[in-house]
Amino acid sequence: MKLEPECIGCLFNQVLKAFELLNPNISREVVITAQKKLMKYLLNFNINEVAAPILGKVTYNIIAELLDNRDPYHDLKIEYNLLVLNYFEDVLNLIEKAEDPVLKAILGSALGNTIDFAGQHDIDIISDLENFKLEDLAINDYGKFQNSLENSNQLLILGDNAGEIVFDKILIIILKKLYPNLEIIYSVRSAPIINDATIEDAKFINLTDLIQVIESNDAPGIILSDTSEEFKKYFFNQNGVILSKGQGNFESLYGMEIPYKDVYYLLKAKCNLMERIFGVKIGDLIFKKKEKGF
């Protein structure tokens, strides 16, 4: 995705929000210094280049530099993972007993993308999942997803955040039971970036004991030129399906030609740009098959 007008203000606001979350007592001078560094980078940025997730990487590298911490979200990510792991068995049992376990697991995976763990630790995951229905998806291509899985031999899941990765593990458990011949691969970031899941998170929740976990790149999305040959092999496998989690991955794949693949986006609309692109409202949940132009 190229840089859009809605993105500029959002980037500067992300800087402020990050410092408020990570170090609420930080001085205004540090916050403004970070915003000025970002502004300087944007002044020289070619607006015809693909912007996401490059600008996200630049933004959070500036934040990490000024905090003198390569992984400022590290402790929060552990907290997110532990929070959801506390509900793991209950969520898994609920999904296994559902009329359509795959659908319920997809809804759980979508729910994982909606929770603001940092600001809302009194969430009721079980109640939310019990009351979460198909109609809660503003765009629903679940039927197409089922058809794709039935006609494929491989599924690559592009992971998003810590905490959310636990819901993805439950989805994988369900899929392995119902599609035993389906090879499932999960990708994480190759280095810490924001609260995105890394191999450390995958090992922490024992996902690496369940399936193959590979690394993509060190940005909040996919920069194909920075990914390994292993990642490219699975990404371009002609008889496979891609499930792309979250807005960062969507912004990376939006408009990209991925021939001979069925690609699905599962995300929450979190900004005005997503409203415009999908024709939904902020807060809506989307499960959409990638089409020409998407």
CA separation for the pair 278, 269 (Å, rounded): 8
CA separation for the pair 259, 237 (Å, rounded): 10
Query: Using 50, 70 and 90 to split pLDDT, how confident is the model at 115?
Result: low
Helix (H) or strand (E) run with residue 9 in it: helix 5-22
Q: What is the pLDDT of residues 260-284, one digit of tens each?
A: 899 999 998 988 899 999 999 998 9
Residue 172 has phi, psi (to 5 degrees) of -65, -40
pLDDT at site 16: 93
Average pLDDT over all residues of the chain: 92
Longest CA–CA span in the chain (Å) reads: 56
Average pLDDT over residues 82-94: 93
What are the strands of the beta sheet with 183-188, ordered from one edge? 137-140, 285-289, 262-268, 240-245, 154-158, 183-188, 212-215
pLDDT at site 121: 42
The pairing of beta strand 262-268 with beta strand 154-158:
unpaired
Angle CA(267)–CA(272)–CA(277) in degrees, nearest 5?
65
Angle CA(98)–CA(83)–CA(218) in degrees, nearest 5?
100
Higher pLDDT, 114 or 165: 165
CA separation for the pair 230, 10 (Å, rounded): 33
Q: What is the pLDDT of residues 122-162, one digit of tens each?
A: 467 788 888 888 888 999 999 999 999 999 999 999 999 99
| Number of C-beta neighbours around residue 61 at 10 A | 15
Angle CA(255)–CA(45)–CA(257) in degrees, nearest 5?
15
| Architecture of the domain spanning 75-289 | 3-Layer(aba) Sandwich (3.40)
Length reported for the chain: 294
Q: What is the pLDDT of residues 232-255, one digit of tens each?
A: 999 998 889 999 999 999 999 998
CA separation for the pair 201, 238 (Å, rounded): 29
Extended beta strands in 208-292, E state: 212-215, 240-245, 262-268, 285-289
